């Protein structure tokens, strides 16, 4: 079996991107390549064509290999829901909610299962590109590791260590990581890649020589820092939670996303970063929704998005108690364009009920009341890819009828529209069992979205903005209403990503010794 595994000296060193770049190069060279990550912990997931849920890193790595993403490429996915609890998914299917201690106790039993999954995969492809998680030398919990060296042993894979020079201390991180490995583990490490280098590489040649003298392992490449439009999980998370708020720009379309505490699937909004004339910001609940413009004063964003959530009731309760709630309500009252996706859709409704505590805290909570829908959580999770056509609507959504939408749904709650007869809580409670029964049977309500007054919309569809026809029409409607004398051009997102994968492959070829990489893959056994 031909394989290679990329492990990091820490989280967010760029091992997902390096792995994707190697995948792309190998595919360009004619190999059938597949990515694999035994365990991932992420709130950013994807649904494959068979309804399996998986982490986004293996999705973009699969795209780089020109293969269909499948949940078995990320056989264990943990989705944290707070209070040391997570949803445990195996091969894309929800198994149960589990505490961190119970999951640790479960790990030894997962090793033979992982071996079976991996053996099934490697028979279908020429090369498997494995990715580790976090650091391989968390020595207090290494005996329970199934992500790094334990997986390398299962796969009998050589390892390349990836280190981030941008954060500083790269020499100590490499030397320290290797020194904490056992002799057996260290023997698997065949090389090091220094990632995110800024400046002239010739100035670092002496550093490479010194490092190689110390570790007696070759440095396979020094990869420059380069901004790429690829959905890296750690990178996106860092940018969202540590990046600065963008100022209001009167000559562009200003899009704001609420930073919920348990925000998930924020790759829904990546496309906005590739559109000229669009300014994307993530806004914390303790910030002002409006930004000050020295010419126009305080200005609300042109579009406000409420994202998915891994703990919708908890995030709704936090929003209800924050000053942001009144700002969102004022924004809606002024006719602002407001769109909620998945958990955001539920938040826009009248109320959310989770008697089984499946999504975190459990219980019930009032929504913002901006859409006449009521949500109840069933025990079964709906996971499916979806394809539908947008209807004829008014306001911001006028002229979008017939736009083809492709995306996916992943949610526990079922939402139904309310009318004057069943809006009262005492009457709504009577339909709980009916709603839950529909959700358990995975019955489709036949409604892909709901719109109020042409400016407030809710949908369960992740990826709706990846439809260039829909998004182009929506943004140009905003531009027209705002009085901007410009046309917003939205390119096909798939073609954008393809170009970025090729750019990444060029970066790898120029800065990593691929001849040595091939020797590691084919000759290291």
CB 264 within 8 A of CB 309: yes
How much is the average pLDDT of 12-17? 93
Tally of CA atoms within 13 A in the half-sphere of 249 that contains its CB: 16
Taking the CA atoms of the chain, what radius of gyration do you get in angstroms?
A: 24
How much is the average pLDDT of 468-483? 96
Kindly give the residue spans of alpha helices, DSSP state H, lying in 216-262. Answer: 233-242
Tally of CA atoms within 13 A in the half-sphere of 350 that contains its CB: 16
Q: Tell me, letter by letter, the H, E, C secondary structure of 305-336.
A: EECEECCHHHHHHHHHCCCHHHHHHHHHHCCC
Q: Grade residue 425 by pLDDT with cuts at 50, 70 and 90.
A: very low
Length of the chain, please?
A: 525
Q: Which of 34-43, 115-124, 264-273, 349-358 has the lowest mean pLDDT?
A: 349-358
CATH 3.40.50.300 positions along the chain are 3-230+498-523
CB 384 within 8 A of CB 360: no
CB 384 within 8 A of CB 408: yes
Please name the fold of domain 3-230+498-523.
Rossmann fold (3.40.50)
Kindly tell me the number of DSSP H helices and DSSP E strands found in the chain.
16, 26
Q: Which of 19-28, 100-109, 193-202, 433-442 has the lowest mean pLDDT?
A: 433-442
Q: What is the pLDDT of residue 217?
A: 97
Q: Which of 69-73, 328-332, 382-386 has the lowest mean pLDDT?
A: 382-386
CB 22 within 8 A of CB 129: yes
What mean pLDDT value characterizes the chain? 89
DSSP structure string for 175-199: HHHHHTS-HHHHHHEEEEEEEEE-S
Phi, psi of 308 (to 5 degrees): -70, 165
Q: How far is CA 436 from CA 121, 336, 353, 378, in A?
A: 37, 33, 11, 5
Class of CATH domain 252-483: alpha beta
pLDDT digits (tens, 9 = 90+) for 487-501: 999 999 999 999 999
Among 38, 54, 37, 58, smallest CA distance to 46 is for 54
Q: Grade residue 428 by pLDDT with cuts at 50, 70 and 90.
A: very low
pLDDT digits (tens, 9 = 90+) for 85-128: 888 999 999 898 899 899 999 999 999 999 999 999 999 999 99
pTM here is 0.86
Q: Is the pLDDT of residue 358 over 70?
A: no
Phi, psi of 367 (to 5 degrees): -85, -170
How much is the average pLDDT of 250-272? 92
Q: Is the pLDDT of residue 177 over 60?
A: yes
Q: Which of 94-103, 128-137, 350-359 has the lowest mean pLDDT?
A: 350-359
CB 39 within 8 A of CB 165: no
Looking at per-residue pLDDT, the higher value among 378 and 155 belongs to 155
Q: What is the pLDDT of residue 434?
A: 54
Rounded (5°) CA angle 355-39-243: 80
CATH 3.40.50.880 positions along the chain are 252-483
Q: Is the pLDDT of residue 430 over 70?
A: no
Phi, psi of 278 (to 5 degrees): -120, 135
How much is the average pLDDT of 171-189? 96
Cα distance between residue 487 and residue 361, in whole Å: 45
Residue 342 annotated in active site:
yes
Positive or negative, the CA dihedral 453, 347, 245, 507 is: negative
Q: Is the pLDDT of residue 426 over 70?
A: no
pLDDT digits (tens, 9 = 90+) for 303-325: 999 999 988 999 999 999 999 99
Q: Grade residue 157 by pLDDT with cuts at 50, 70 and 90.
A: very high
Q: What is the pLDDT of residue 413?
A: 80
How much is the average pLDDT of 74-83? 87
Non-local (6+) Cβ contacts of 47 within 8 A are 53, 54, 383, 384, 385, 408, 409, 410, 462
Q: What is the pLDDT of residue 341?
A: 97
Cα distance between residue 166 and residue 164, in whole Å: 6
The three-state secondary structure class of 403 is coil
Exposed, middle or buried by CB within 10 Å (0-12, 13-18, 19+), for 163? buried
Residue 291 annotated in active site:
no
For residues 146-162, b (16+ Cβ closer than 10 Å) or e, as one string?
A: bbbbbbbebbebbbbbb
The catalytically annotated residue of 262, 411, 439, 462 is 462
Q: Is the pLDDT of residue 285 over 90?
A: yes
Looking at per-residue pLDDT, the higher value among 233 and 201 belongs to 201
Crossing angle between the packed helical segments 312-320 and 324-333, to the nearest 10 degrees: 90
Cα distance between residue 345 and residue 412, in whole Å: 13
How much is the average pLDDT of 164-186? 95
The catalytically annotated residue of 23, 65, 342, 461 is 342
Non-local (6+) Cβ contacts of 190 within 8 A are 158, 159, 160, 217, 218, 520, 524
Q: Is the pLDDT of residue 28 over 50?
A: yes
Cα distance between residue 61 and residue 501, in whole Å: 9
**How far does Cα 334 stand from its chain's mean position?**
32
For residues 431-457, b (16+ Cβ closer than 10 Å) or e, as one string?
A: ebeebbebbeeeeeeeebbbbbeebbb
Q: What is the pLDDT of residue 330?
A: 96
Q: What is the pLDDT of residue 198?
A: 92
Q: Grade residue 503 by pLDDT with cuts at 50, 70 and 90.
A: very high
Q: What is the pLDDT of residue 427?
A: 45
């Amino acid at each position: 079996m031909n394989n290679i595994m990329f492990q990091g000296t820490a989280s967010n060193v760029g091992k997902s991107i390096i792995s994707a770049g190697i995948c792309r190069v190998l595919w360009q060279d004619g190999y059938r390549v597949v990515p694999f990550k035994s365990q991932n912990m992420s709130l950013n997931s994807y649904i494959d064509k068979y309804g399996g849920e998986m982490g986004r890193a293996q999705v973009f790595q699969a795209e780089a290999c020109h293969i269909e993403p499948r949940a078995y490429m990320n056989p264990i996915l943990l989705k944290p829901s707070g209070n040391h609890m997570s949803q445990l998914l195996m091969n894309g299917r929800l198994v149960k909610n589990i505490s961190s201690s119970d999951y640790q106790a479960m790990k030894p039993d997962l090793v033979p299962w992982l071996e079976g999954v991996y053996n099934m995969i490697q028979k279908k492809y020429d090369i498997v590109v494995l990715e580790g998680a976090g650091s391989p030398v968390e020595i207090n919990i290494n005996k329970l590791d199934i992500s790094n060296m334990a997986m390398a042993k299962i796969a009998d894979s050589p390892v390349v260590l990836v280190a981030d020079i941008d954060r500083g201390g790269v020499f100590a991180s490499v030397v320290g990581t290797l020194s904490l490995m056992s002799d057996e583990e260290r023997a698997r490490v065949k090389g090091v890649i220094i990632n995110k280098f800024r400046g002239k590489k010739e100035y670092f040649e002496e550093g490479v020589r010194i490092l190689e003298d110390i570790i007696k392992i070759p440095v396979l490449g020094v990869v420059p820092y380069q901004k790429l439009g690829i959905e890296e999980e750690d990178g996106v998370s860092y940018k969202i939670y540590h990046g600065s708020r963008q100022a209001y720009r009167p000559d562009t379309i200003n899009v704001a996303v609420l930073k919920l505490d348990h925000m998930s699937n924020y790759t829904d909004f990546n496309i906005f970063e590739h559109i000229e004339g669009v300014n994307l910001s993530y806004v914390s609940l303790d910030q002002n929704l409006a930004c000050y413009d020295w010419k126009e004063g305080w200005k609300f964003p042109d579009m406000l998005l409420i994202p998915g959530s891994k703990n919708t009731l908890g995030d709704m309760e936090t929003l209800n108690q924050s000053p942001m709630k009144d700002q969102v309500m004022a924004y809606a009252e002024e006719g602002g364009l407001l769109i909620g996706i998945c958990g955001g859709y539920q938040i826009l409704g009248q109320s959310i009920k989770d008697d089984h505590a499946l999504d975190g805290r459990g219980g019930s909570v009032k929504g913002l009341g901006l859409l006449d829908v009521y949500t109840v959580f069933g025990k079964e999770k709906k996971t499916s890819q979806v394809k539908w056509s947008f209807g004829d609507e008014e306001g911001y959504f006028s002229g979008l009828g017939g736009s083809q939408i492709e995306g996916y749904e992943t949610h526990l709650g079922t939402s139904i529209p309310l009318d004057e007869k069943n809006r009262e809580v005492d009457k709504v409670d009577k339909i709980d069992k009916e709603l839950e029964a529909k959700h358990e049977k995975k019955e489709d309500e036949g409604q892909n979205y709901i719109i109020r007054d042409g400016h407030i919309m809710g949908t369960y569809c992740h990826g709706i903005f990846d439809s260039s026809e829909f998004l182009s029409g929506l943004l140009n409607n905003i531009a027209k209403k705002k009085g901007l004398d410009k046309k917003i051009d939205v390119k096909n997102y798939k073609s954008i990503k393809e170009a970025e994968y090729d750019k990444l492959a060029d970066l790898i070829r120029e800065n990593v010794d691929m001849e040595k990489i091939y020797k590691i893959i084919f000759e290291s056994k």
